[in-house]
Structure 1
Amino acid sequence: MFSLDEAKKYLRVDSNDEDDIIQQELDAAESLVASVLRKDSLGEDDSPIVTVAVLYSLAYINEHREEADHHALTITLRNLLFGERDPRF
């Protein structure tokens, strides 16, 4: 959904020192959003709310590397993406 360069620009990272970490964080953010949406992957989903959710997740994971509360992040994403979620049970 996002390239590494787009993620670095969003996070305001200029150096290449943390490229591997940021790519892993981006992959985790996209996977988490897809999971909350009950989808296998985001593919080319260009919904503005999904974009916001991925960027929010990326920023949260990047900022809270050591003490991230993934449960709280998941609850926030569920609330944010409630209208976009697949209704299957």
Structure 2
Amino acid sequence: MVLTLEEAKKYLRVDGDEEDDLITSFVEAAEIYIKNATSKNVDLKSELVKLAARILIAHWHENREAVGKAEQLAFSLQSILVQLQYCGGDASESR
């Protein structure tokens, strides 16, 4: 799994366990989203993948209504996903 429940909750600043199921589903969905968006086997433990997952999870957590603020998410996430798609997010690959 790209992030543990505890890592996601810490990033979201969520205490308690009322939202554990929801946050777990966000973590699982973020992993699938990243894999689908990059069209390659990315290293789920890379810091860039974890950052992309955190951005997605925070966005989904803060924007639960049907109409969200996609433009706020688009640029930063798209930039990370492009890097993951073309170099796997590993800085050493390009050297």
Shorter-chain TM range is 0.7 to 0.9
Give 1:57's aligned amino acid: L
Give the TM-score of the pair, scaled to structure 2.
0.70
**2:79 maps to 1:79:** yes
Distance 1:29 1:74, change over 3 A: farther
Whole-Å separation in 2 of the counterparts to 1:54 and 1:39:
16
Q: Is it true that 1:9 corresponds to 2:10 in the alignment?
A: yes
How far did residue 84 of structure 1 move?
Answer: 2.0
Distance 1:35 1:70, change over 3 A: farther
Residues 8 and 14, structure 1, Cα contact 8 Å, conserved in 2: yes
The alignment covers a number of residue pairs equal to 85
1:73/1:10 Cα in 2 relative to 1: closer, same or farther (>3 Å)?
Answer: same
Q: 1:73 to 1:39 in 2, by over 3 A?
A: farther
Alpha-carbon distance between aligned partners in 2 of 1:47 and 1:77, rounded to the nearest angstrom? 15
Q: Match for residue 38 of structure 1?
A: 39
Deviation at 1:64, TM superposition (A): 0.5
Gaps of 5+ in 2: 88-95
Kindly name which structure, 1 or 2, has the bigger radius of gyration based on alpha carbons. 2
**Structure 1 moving runs of 4+ over 4 Å:** 69-76
Consecutive unaligned residues of structure 1, counting only runs of 5 or more, are none
AA aligned to 1:35 is N
Q: Is the 8 A contact 1:36 1:74 kept in 2?
A: no
**Percent of matched pairs sharing the same residue:** 33
